[in-house]
Amino acid sequence: MDTNTAELTVGVDIGGTKIAAGVVDAHGQILAHAYRATDPHDPRQIEGAVAETVEELRSQYPQVDAVGVAAAGFVGSDRTTMLFAPNIAWRNHPLGSILTDRIGLPVVIENDANAAAWAEYRFGQGRGADSMVMLTLGTGLGGAIISNGQLIRGSFGAAAELGHMTIVPDGHFCGCGQEGCWEAYASGTALAKLARSVAVADPDGAQAMLAAAGGDQIVGAHVTAAARQGDPLALSLLTRFGHYLGVGIATLTAVVDPAVVVVGGGIAAVAGDLILPSARTSFLNNLSGRGFRGEPRIVTADLGNDAGIIGAADSARVPARTTERVLEGAAR
């Protein structure tokens, strides 16, 4: 059998305004893509768009035998129920069953950070490691933990909300309602807030960032642009970002003891080289038992925007094989 068409699954990554899907082989290679615009206020439209992309891809690769869907939010331990989604009105919603009925294939639902982490673990920077932590740096700070080859989902499917560990007691307010969360110090939102406050306090010192913004509100991309021009203030903000990133990684290492920490997401893609040096320094300065324990590698992700598709597709493989064995057993 052609290895490029063996064990094909579809991975679907549901974003805020679009879905991206792909046919993925057993080696983590995407053979075909499909996209649809979506309305986050219309869950039924999203479900229809998922079904349409899968059908489009199956018309090219009829060998597809399962579908994995990556979505932001809490996924039930049954891996078919969306317990909660922050941007879509899914509450205890049987998404997997609905899609299975529409598509006619086994469907597995996975948290989007878990899916990206699984892709990096199987085919990217975590390949060959037994345990790995992944951090996704974007508007917020997401994460996933893999230990002894298994994703840690927790008893109720809500594990590894790493951005909401407290790293600064009584610190900045977080969007979750708590104070001092990691996300409030190491995320795109946190970086933008800090840059804006600095620009108000010292507009002369912030000229490079203000110029990059061109009259708009400063966001993380403007900080990075100024830093790449050598602006000392922008560089200091990214160093501070890296400091807090390293503090959190040290805390996680004390709990999980991973072999590798993979840092992904949009911020890592555009500014990882500016952030990770200070993150590594801060990590070592805050690591408990340093010198008497192994230290994980801290690296940027390999798979970029395709990680969610690849991880979701690969997550669907084992359930697909299990379903086939059950059906075969029943037939006997």
Sequential DSSP letters for 95-150: HHHHHHHHHSS-EEEEEHHHHHHHHHHHHSTTTT-S-EEEEEESSSEEEEEEETTE
Tell me whether residue 315 is exposed, middle or buried, using C-beta atoms within 10 angstroms of its C-beta: 0 to 12, 13 to 18, 19 or more.
Answer: buried
| β-bridge partners, 162 | none
Write down the residue that tokens 């078919």 correspond to: 80
Q: Which residues pair with 151 in a beta bridge?
A: 146
Query: CB count, 10 Å around CB of 257?
Result: 13
Length reported for the chain? 332
CA distance 167 to 180: 6
Divide the 332 residues of the chain into consecutive groups of 10 and give the mean pLDDT of each group: 66 92 97 94 94 97 97 90 89 96 96 95 96 94 94 88 94 92 96 97 96 96 97 98 98 96 95 97 96 95 95 84 40 42
Contact, 179 vs 173, CB < 8 A? yes
pLDDT of residue 176: 85
What pLDDT shows up at residue 323? 40
Yes or no: say if 160 and 113 are a contact pair by the CB < 8 Å rule: yes
Query: How do the residues of the chain divide into helix, strand and coil, expressed in percent and rounded to 5?
Result: 45, 20, 35
pLDDT value of position 321: 46
Beta bridge partners of 143: 135
Alpha carbon 214 to chain centroid, angstroms:
30
- 86-122 in b/e burial notation, b at 16+ Cβ within 10 A? eebebeebbbbebbbebbebbbbbbbbbbbbbbbbbb
Complete DSSP assignment for 64-92:
---EEEEESSEE-TTSS-EEE-SSS--EE
Q: Do 307 and 270 touch, CB atoms closer than 8 A?
A: no
Q: Which pLDDT value is given to residue 6? A: 56
CB 110 within 8 A of CB 75: yes
Ordered by where they begin, the domains of the chain are 9-116+306-331 (3.30.420.40), 129-301 (3.30.420.40)
Question: How wide is the angle at C-alpha 143 spanned by C-alphas 274 and 280, nearest 5°?
Answer: 35
Which residues are CB-contacts of 163 (< 8 A; sequence separation ≥ 6)?
140, 141, 142, 143, 181, 182, 183, 187
Task: Compute the distance between CA of residue 54 and CA of residue 61 in angstroms, rounded to an integer.
Answer: 10
